[in-house]
Amino acid sequence: MMSENKFDHLENFSIGGMFYKTRLTDKFVKRSRYVEYDPHLIKAFIPGTIVEVFVRKGSRVEEGQKLLLLEAMKMRNVVVAPISGRVKQLWVKENDLVSKNQLMIELE
Amino acid sequence: MGLKEKSTDLRRRMRNALRGGGEKAIQKQKAIGKLTARERIIALLDHNTFHEYDLFVEHAGKDFDMDKKYLPGDGVITGTGMIMGHPVCIYAQDFTVAGGSLGWMHAKKITKIMDHALKLKVPLIGINDSGGARIQEGVNSLAGYGEIFYRNTLASGVIPQISVILGPCAGGAVYSPALTDFVFVVENISKMFITGPEVIKTVLGEEISMEALGGARVHCETTGNAHFFAESEQQCFDQIKNLVSYIPWNNTRKAVKYPKKRPNTKRYKIENIIPSDPREPYDVRDIIKAVTDDSAFLEVQDLFAQNIVIGFGRMEGETVGFVANQPLVLAGVLDVDSSDKAARFIRYCDSFNIPLVTLVDLPGYLPGVDQEHAGVIRHGAKILYAYSEATVPKITLIMRKAYGGGYIAMCSHHLRADFVFAWPTAEIAVMGPEGAANIIFRKEIASADDPEAYRKLKVEEYKEKFANPYVAAAYGYIDAVIEPVETRKMLIRALDISKDKEVSLPAKKHGVPPF
């Protein structure tokens, strides 16, 4: 890590309108960027398995309607539509493993 | 049986118990670069000082045919000894005996040596190498862990507790190290996690190796669960010996005084370390080495949240705890991780009568959605709490920037620093000149003929007027503005005169720190 070349790889880092020459940490570089919530994108809130899909591409859905059954940690979670609309794209099928924040359904 | 026969019988019994898990299990242990539990204790302790207890303890399991099994020492070795002349209590789990699994008597051996350490008021060292709970003993195994955690908590702040992870330490077992003061790990040998890769894969479908999930490097760099990283067991033992030399045996004592030494001022010369441009970085550890005896510095958590540096050095032979912003990494900002790291260290030093020297050079707290959402408010508050609560001598040196909340947090007078020094290069202000000028002169800048030129002018004016230590000094927030070359002398004087410092705080059971 910091050895004789500790002053290599310096970046310009802005804080309070000033630029400082400094090193960035891996954790800082890899930090997750904020993405604004979009109710059209139905993402997995927990990693798990898709047990059942209740809608098809093109289905009309009402707010609160069941979309999927996502099993995680031995619990079956009903994923419902946060808004009314149409299923633009279905990205998962039954028995798929999904990771956290994976896109499952796109509404329009 | 006569005395002679009885002695022969004793020796035979000892030989049996000392055999551990047997040749085959020992070979397996060695094949992966691990020493046996007993070899570890011998390697760590001073020559011929190990005094073993409870060699003849046997397990108490009855179910699943366990009553027919003999487990030498029940998979853990306990005793007392010395490290560089400092007394310690020690235990080491023996992975060769039933995978070092923790059953009721195994736990009782550990809690017995813990009680002993607390009574004798000497440091406790635990070497962890265990597959976890002994499933055959069921709930008694859980009870054993609980008894250990309870004692870890009682002993916290009374005797130093050191955990050494030399093998697996998974599930509930991780909480004993987590409750102790310092955790040592070794590359490719230490593995710590609550749920292992297998469970994560079956439950969540995420695939990850053991090393990537909970190896030594992860815990040193990412989680902050471990404090010292070593590439081999021997290096790890050397680190432990070094640490033990810096810390007192218990909370009623001071650390043992070592012979005074001068720093190596040829190699570490403060005037040459600090760049003239405040935006240029330097390695704050070089400043620490410029003032410590023999330029020695034992850094704690050197791989985690590197934007703050913590660790031990000696001044005039006495242990000092250093907390320093590191301009070389993330400009030395405070954030969630660095606040957490520093706060715990401050509380450690305060518990064990180790004076604190704080070296300040930071532009403030790290801005960002991720920081705000990760709770930088409550984590940042830890450092304020820890400094305010600490009653050991607190000496602060402001080297360059001390802006905003960062100035307050880094052991300012307001949190009851005993001495606050500043170099002439110090800038103590509510924020950096750029930000301040933009806010104060917003209207004037907007309506100026040449806004950019006007803004620059105002930044310069602000710098001239406020980017120095004298405004704060005029209010008495800085006790003395000193030349960098005087630093060691002034720190030593301040530490020297604070030796009998006494502070009385309001009576309470305990506070409610933001952790």
Contacts of B205 in chain A (CB under 8 A): 47-49, 97-99
Tell whether B157 is covered by a domain: yes
For residues B460 and B493, state if they share a domain: no
B225 and B352 share one domain: no
Q: Residue B405 contacts by C-beta under 8 Å, 6 or more apart in sequence?
A: B334, B364, B365, B380
Say yes or no: B226 and B352 in one domain. Answer: no
Q: What is the pLDDT of residues B19-45, one digit of tens each?
A: 888 899 999 999 988 999 999 999 999
CA-based nearest residue in chain A for residue B331: A22
Please tell me if residue A45 touches chain B, with a CB cutoff of 8 Å. no
Q: Mark yes or no for CB contact B331/A31 under 8 Å.
A: no
B379: domain range? 270-431+467-497
At A1 the pLDDT is 45
Check residue A4 and give its pLDDT. Answer: 58
Shared domain for B86 and B220, answered yes or no, is yes
In a domain, B513, yes or no: no
What is the domain count for chain A?
Answer: 1
Contact in structure between A54 and A74 (CB atoms under 8 Å): no
Residue B35 shares a structural domain with residue B137: yes
A30 touches chain B (CB under 8 A): no
Q: How far is A68 from chain B (nearest CA, A)?
A: 17
The answer, for A15 touching chain B at a CB cutoff of 8 Å, is: yes
Contact: A13, B434; criterion CB under 8 Å: no
Please tell me the distance from the alpha carbon of residue B256 to that of residue B235, in angstroms, as a whole number. Answer: 23
- Its domain, for residue A65, covers 41-107
Q: What is the pLDDT of residue A72?
A: 85
Q: Shortest CB distance from B222 goes to which of A27, A47, A98? A: A27
Q: Kindly provide the ipTM of the predicted complex, given to two decimals.
A: 0.80
E strand segments, B246-373: 298-300, 308-315, 318-325, 356-362
B161 with B304, same domain: the answer is no
Q: Is residue A36 part of a domain?
A: no
Do B461 and B490 fall within a single domain?
A: no
Interface probe, candidates B187, B274, B370, B466, chain A, greatest A C-beta count within 10 A: B370
Q: Which pTM does this prediction carry? A: 0.93
B33: Cα separation from own chain's centroid: 26
Test A99 with B205 for CB contact under 8 angstroms: yes
Partner-chain residue, chosen from A2, A20, A72, that has the shortest CB–CB distance to B331:
A20
Tokens standing for residue A5:
């070349």
Tell if the CB–CB gap between B370 and A34 is shorter than 8 Å. Answer: yes
B contact set with A (CB within 8 A): 203-206, 221-222, 279-281, 283, 302-303, 305-307, 327-333, 337, 363-364, 366-370, 373, 403, 431-435, 438
Could you write out the three-class secondary structure of chain A?
CCCCCCCCCCEEEEECCEEEEEECCHHHHCCCCCCCCCCCEEECCCCEEEEEECCCCCCEECCCCEEEEEEECCEEEEEECCCCEEEEEECCCCCCEECCCCEEEEEC
The total of other beta-carbon atoms located within 10 Å of residue A7's CB is 14
> Pairing mode, if any, of strands B51-53 and B168-170?
unpaired
Contact in structure between B101 and B139 (CB atoms under 8 Å): no
Q: What is the mean pLDDT of chain A?
A: 89
Q: Which CATH number covers residue B75?
A: 3.90.226.10
| A82 within domain boundaries | yes
In a domain, B515, yes or no: no
Q: Is the pLDDT of residue A3 over 60?
A: no
Give the pLDDT score at B278. Answer: 80
Mean pLDDT of A24-42: 90
| Domain CATH number, residue A101 | 2.40.50.100
The answer to whether the CB atoms of B327 and A20 lie below 8 A apart is yes
User: Is residue B255 one of the residues assigned to a domain?
Assistant: no
Whether residues B414 and B460 fall in one domain = no
Shortest Cα distance, chain A CAs vs residue B228, angstroms: 14
Is A70 a member of any domain? yes
Per the structure block, which two tokens stand in for B334?
């405070």
Which residue in A2, A7, A28 is closest to B330 by CB distance? Answer: A28
pLDDT in tens, B203-213: 777 789 999 99
How far apart CA B253 and CA B276 sit, in angstroms, is 42
Q: Tell me if B106 is assigned to some domain.
A: yes
- DSSP β-bridge partners for residue B480: B421
B111 lies in the same domain as B49: yes
Compare all CA atoms of chain B with the CA of A44 and give the residue at the minimum distance.
B204
- Coil vs helix vs strand at B470: helix
CB spacing of A31 vs B303 below 8 angstroms: no
Residue B203 to residue A73, Cβ atoms within 8 A = yes
Amino acid identity, position B71? L
Q: Which pLDDT belongs to residue A9?
A: 84
Residues B341 and B388 in one domain: yes
User: What burial class does residue B473 get, using C-beta atoms within 10 Å of its C-beta: 0-12 exposed, 13-18 middle, 19+ buried?
Assistant: middle
Chain B contact for A90 (CB, 8 A cutoff): no
What is the chain A residue with the closest CA to B432? A16
B449 and B398 within one domain: no
How many folded domains does chain B comprise?
Answer: 3
- Same domain for B169 and B64: yes
Residue B259 domain flag: no
Q: What integer pLDDT is reported at residue B433 of this predicted model?
A: 86
Partner B contacted by A51 (CB < 8 A): no
Pairing of strands B182-186, B161-165: parallel
**8 Å CB contact between B458 and B436:** no
Spans in chain B with pLDDT lower than 50? none
